[in-house]
Amino acid sequence: MDMKKLTSVFMMMAVIVAAVFLSGCNRHDEPEREVYVPIIYQFNQESVIVDLDYLSKNEPEIWDQLKSLHLHTFVVNDADEFPSCDLIKENWGENIDFSDKTVIINYELCSYPVVGHRYAWVYDRMDKTYSFWTTNLTDGDRLLDDAKACLVRNAIMVNKISPSVHVTSVFSSPSHI
């Protein structure tokens, strides 16, 4: 082997050793920041098509209620804490044993009809917060008329959390089934 080839082989080996060394520099065997936490139960996703123009002009109480529900996350530790919604009136939380469970609820206004969902319950170890991740499923690219929207209620039951723990919702773009 001549000197040029030998130098090239040594240079390639040095590059490989450097790449292996540098690729391991940022690994500290630290646990993941966000971890998926078990969901005990997923409630049926409820939705209703609403006429926003009509509600804003003719139903001011319901319009105000709708605005307060949209993108809000509710942490329910007692049956009396369920949010009031005159548009979706299913009494589904009456028989829950809240001694060791919490119900997380969020509402979202969508511009498309919703036919399903995907949920995740995530704990952020660094911030010590929870997030309820929701993805709405649609059956195509069909959008509602400009004046209409789909009000969607998402709800899960999880192991008991304190009302003082910060909980947020993360709403993902619709996904096609």
**What is the full per-residue pLDDT of the chain (177 aa) written as tens digits?**
555 555 555 556 655 655 555 555 555 667 789 999 999 999 988 888 899 999 989 999 988 988 888 888 999 999 888 888 877 766 676 788 899 999 999 999 888 888 889 999 999 999 999 999 999 888 777 777 888 888 899 999 999 999 899 999 998 866 655
Task: Confirm if 126 and 58 have CB atoms less than 8 A apart.
Answer: no
Tell me if 21 is assigned to some domain.
no
Q: Supply the pTM of this predicted model.
A: 0.78
CA distance 49 to 63: 14
Tell me if 80 is assigned to some domain.
yes
What's the total number of domains in the chain?
Answer: 1
Residue 117 domain boundaries: 32-176
Tell me if 4 is assigned to some domain.
no
Tell me if 1 is assigned to some domain.
no
Tell me if 24 is assigned to some domain.
no
- Token pair 């391991």 is found at 24
CA distance 144 to 147: 8
Tell me if 8 is assigned to some domain.
no
Q: Given this model, what pLDDT does residue 102 score?
A: 95
Task: Confirm if 87 and 48 have CB atoms less than 8 A apart.
Answer: yes
Q: Given this model, what pLDDT does residue 2 score?
A: 58
CA distance 111 to 139: 13
| pLDDT tens-digit map of 32-69 | 899 999 999 999 888 888 999 999 899 999 889 888 88
